[in-house]
Structure formats: structure tokens, C-alpha cells
Structure 1
Amino acid sequence: MKLTVLGCSGSIPGPDSPASGYLLEAGGTRIVLDLGNGTLGTLQRFADPFQVDALLLSHLHPDHCADVGALTVLRRYHPDPPRDPVQRRLPVLAPPEAPERLAALYAPSAAERAGTDLSDVYEFRPPPEEPVHIGPFEVRAFPVTHVCPTWGFRIAAEGRVLAYTGDTGPCAELTELARGADVLLSEASWADFAEAPDGLHLSGRQAAEAADAAGARQLLLTHVQPWVEGRAVLEEARERFASAELVEAGRTYTV
């Protein structure tokens, strides 16, 4: 399984990275996890967006889904789209309110928001809390703790397992999500501090504790906010979990 980081900046795009987005490839199948601000541009360096087989959205904050608006433009107006109309409808596994929220994002005006329909380009499905298959990938979603409905994804293919937290605060579901995973791709928005808000994000230390509790083999840290020193986040994670690494936008990792 190959993981390419399209963007890894937390909360907003940063000077060196778009917001959250990740491309997973196995056996000729491609899925994208989140598509935050700026990630569609990076995606085009690594894959034809029409050759993506599914889009998984952990939640509907802009830093995880804003580029769906741009993707809609591409899929509707590209001069050479796939001829098969079924192939033009991208499966999107996302929170239940995604059809309405993403239609509002794309709508040309407030007056036309109610009449905007994206079903010609997307096939919306809820996050699968029971395993589903997309080509060689087995995907299962786990609800996690955040300020809006949010899911992490556990994805298996070719005998390997990647667990992706999405955005989350500490919660028991992280252990099941990442249990025995080869790679835990975990948000770590900041270095630990006493006044950190509850149920919003993980620190580097908390991401490491989640990886350790789940028995994950490797921890990849992402979603560090651009005003936070990434080295400090990594150092506190490595104090608890030695196999921790800070991801970089545009880099590819083998799971």
C-alpha cells in the first residue's frame, strides 16, 4: 500500500503545505482521504483525478473538504471526461449532511443553494461502520471525538493496515481504530499544554499514547498547525513512541 501526503497542514493551509489530504494506492485502485484547501492541486501531480476510485471525508471542516468544490468544477466541466457516465460519479463516503453541505459550497449564489444538486458527479454514501470493499481495500469507519460528526478510517489492503484518525481529541475509539495497525496516521495539532481544549485535537504526546495503546507499529504525525513548531510535536511523541515521524507534503510512504 502506498501513501502520498497531498497536504498535512492543520486547520488552515500553511506556507509549505496544503491542508489535509492523502492518496492511498494498492493494486491499481486509488482512494483519497480528505480533500482540504489546496490538495486538489497536489493530487494532479500524482494521479488523474478521474482515476480516483473513491473519496473518503472524515468530516466537513474546510481544511478537510474545501477542495471538493474545485473537484466538482473539474468533474463537470473538464473537456475530456470519462465517456461512461457511471465512471463520472465518484463514490464519496462522508458524513450524512455532506450532500447538502457540499452543494452549498459549490452553489453559485445563496439564492441557488437549495436547488444545487451534485448527484451527477458524486454518489454519496455514509461512513461505513461495517467493513466495505473498494477494489483491494477494506474500509471501516470509526466515530471519533471532535466538535462535529467525525470519523476515522481503518483501511486494509495487501496484508497491511493503515489507520487514519481524521480530527479527534483523545477517545477510547482510537484504540480500536488503530489496533495492531502497521501505520497510524494521526493528527497531532500541537505540543501538549495544560490549557488545551477538551475533545478537539491531539497533541504529539496524546497521539503517541494512542499508538502505544493500540499496538501500532509506526506513527505518522500530521495536521500540525502552521503556527506550531513541528519539531516540538515530534520530540514529545518520540518520548512515548520511538517509531514516530512527522509527515511532509508531497512525500510518499510505504505502508
Structure 2
Amino acid sequence: MKLTILGCSGSIPGSATPASGYLVESGGVRILLDLGNGTLGTLQRFADPFAADALLLSHLHPDHCADFGALTVLRRYHPDPPYAPGERRLSVFGPEEAPDRLAALYAPSSAERAATDLSDVFDFRSVPESPVRIGPFEITAFPVEHICPSWGFRVAAEGRVLAYTGDTGPCGGLTGLAADVDVLLSEASWQDSPDRPDGLHLSGKQAAEVAERGSVGRLLLTHLQPWADSAAILAEARASTSAPVELVSAGETYEV
């Protein structure tokens, strides 16, 4: 199973990296975990966007879904698509309000929003309550704590397991999400401090504590905000777990 970082900046794109988005591949099947600002550009360096088999949205903040509008334009208006219109609609798993919210993102005006139906190119589905199979992948969603409905995803294939936290504060859902995974791709938006708001994001230390409790094989830190001290976040994470810890960067690829 291969993980490619399409973008890893938290809250907004950074000067050198898009926001959150990740490509996971196994056995010729490609799934996308989030598609934030700028990630569609990076994706085109590694795979044909038409070749994606599914998109899973952890939540609907722009830094995790903004490039869905650009993907809609590509799938609707590319002059030479690899298949006929209406064929191979992309499966999109997200919150229940995703079809309406994403139509509003794409619609050219509020007057046209109600008439915007994206079902010609997308097959919308709610985040599954039980594990779902996509090719060789078995994907399990775990509700996590954020300021809107949010999920982390546990992705298993080839006898390996990747867990992705999405955006979350410390919560019980992270226990099952991270248990005994080979790689934990965890947000670490800021340095640890008692002044941080509850239920919003993880610090580097908190992400490492999740990894330590879960006995994960490797911790990859993502979603660092552009104004954050990434070296300090990495240092506090490494001090709080025995697992190897790295900061990811856009365009990097990892074997899970």
C-alpha cells in the first residue's frame, strides 16, 4: 500500500504546500482521502484524476474539500475524457449534507445552486457506519471530535493498515482508529498548550500520545498550520512516543 501526500498544510494552504489531501494506492486501485485547496494540482503529478476509484471526505471544511469544485469542472468539461459521459461516476463518501454543500461550492451563482445536480459525475454516499470494500481496501470510519461532523479513516490492504485522523481534538474515537496500525497519519496543528481550545485539533504531543497508546508502527504528522513551529511540534511528538515520527511534505510518497 502506497501513500502519497498531495498536501499537508493545516487550515489554509502554505506558501509551498497545498492543504490536506492524500492518495492511497493498492493493487491498481486509487482512493483519495480529502481534497483540500491545491491538491488536485499535485494529484496530476502522480495519477490521472479520472483514475481515482473513490474520494472519502473526513469533513467539509475548505482545507479538506475545496478542490472538489475543480474536480467537478475536470470531470464535466474535459474535452477528451477516458470514458463516456455518465460512465464511471466517482464514489464520494462524506457527511450527509455533502451533495448540497458541494453543489453550492461548484454552482456559479446562488440562483443556480438548487438546479445544480452533480450526480452525472459523482455517486454520493454517506460516510459508512460499517466497513466498506473498495477493491483491495477495507475502510472503516471512526467519528472524531471537531467543530463539525468529522471522521477518521482506517484503511486496510495487503495485510497493512493506515489510519488517518482527519481533523480532531483528543477523543475516544482515536483509540479504535489507531490501535495497532502500521502507519498513523495524524494531524498535529500546533504545539501543546493548556490555552488551546478543546475539541478542535491535536498538538504534536497529543498525536504522539495517541500513537503510543495504539502501539503504532510509525507516526506521520500532517496538517501543520503555516504559522506553526514545525520543528517544535516534531520535537514534542518525538519526546512522547517510542514510535518513529516524521513530518510529511507535499509530493512525498511512503510505503505503508
Query: 1:127 Cα deviation (Å)?
Result: 1.0
What residue in structure 1 maps to residue 164 of structure 2? 164
Q: Single out whichever of 208-217 and 23-32 deviates more from structure 2.
A: 208-217
Measure the CA separation in 1 of the matches of 2:71 and 2:159.
Answer: 31
Query: What is the aligned partner in structure 2 of residue 72 from structure 1?
Result: 72
Alignment of 1:1-255 (within 5 A): 1-85=1-85, 87-242=87-242, 243-255=244-256
TM-score of the superposed pair, with normalisation by structure 1: 0.98
- SS of corresponding position for 2:239: helix
Kept in 2, the 8 Å contact 1:150–1:167? The answer is: yes
Deviations 1:90-129 (A, max 9, x none): 0001111000000000001011111111100100111122
Distance 2:52 2:87 in 1: 10
Measure, in 2, the Cα distance between the counterparts of 1:251 and 1:2: 11
For 1:235, give the aligned amino acid: A
Structure 2 unaligned residues grouped into runs of 5+? none
1:179 to partner: Cα distance: 0.7
Deviations 1:192-234 (A, max 9, x none): 1120000000000000001111121110000000000111110
Contact 2:144-2:171 within 8 A present in 1 as well: yes
Q: Give secondary structure in 2 for the equivalent of 1:80.
A: coil
Q: Give the CA deviation at 1:34.
A: 0.2
Aligned residues: 255
TM-score (normalised: structure 2): 0.98
Is the contact between residue 81 and residue 88 of structure 1 (CA under 8 Å) also seen in structure 2? no
Contact 2:86 2:120 in 1 (8 A): no
Shift of 1:86: 5.3
2:163 and 2:184 in contact (8 A); partners too? yes
**Sequence identity (%):** 73
RMSD of aligned residue pairs (Cα, Å)? 0.9
